[in-house]
Amino acid sequence: MIILGIDPALAITGYGVIQVKGNSLVLDEAGIIQTRAKENTSKRLDKIYRGVIKLIEDTRPDCLVLEKIFSHHGHPATSYILGQARGVICLAAATKNIPFFEYSATRIKKAIVGKGLAAKAQVQRMVAHTLGLKTLPAYMDVTDALALAIAHSYIIKAKV
């Protein structure tokens, strides 16, 4: 099974593609889709959409995993912008008929580290350890995307 995890944002969208091979998880590809702040929002969203479409075409995932939106009352605009990025990613998945799953941040952290309130650094180290990476990903957005994919593999395995 090939799982595509995506950590959406308007500036830097992280992604990670893993393969589930028996009891092993293998990193296929990871990186970012980056937009420039000077471009208007519609161009930035288009870049994310086209980037995700190309990623789906290149990696042929069996499913796509996103984090559920957490809305903080002090930063409502952040949720709005994040929702736009998530929307074009969901559209890309629907366009390519890729099943879509979403989980809360606490569920992801619990699956990866064992506790829902784990620090980002703990998640980063566990992702690197799980995938046998010699160095930590350069962007936390990539780590988060890989954590989504890894957690989904654990969650679906637990359901079987």
141 is known as an active-site residue: yes
- Looking at residue 125, its amino acid is R
7, 29, 102, 144: the catalytic one is 7
Q: What is the C-alpha separation between 123 and 58, in angstroms, rounded?
A: 27
28, 57, 58, 141: the catalytic one is 141
7 is known as an active-site residue: yes
The rounded Cα 19 to chain-centroid distance in angstroms is 14
102 is known as an active-site residue: no
Q: What is the C-alpha separation between 72 and 6, in angstroms, rounded?
A: 21
Helix (H, G, I), strand (E, B) or coil at 3: strand
39, 67, 102, 144: the catalytic one is 67
Q: Which two tokens stand for residue 28?
A: 């296929």
How far apart, in Å, do the first and last CA atoms of the chain sit?
14
Residues taking part in catalysis:
7, 67, 141
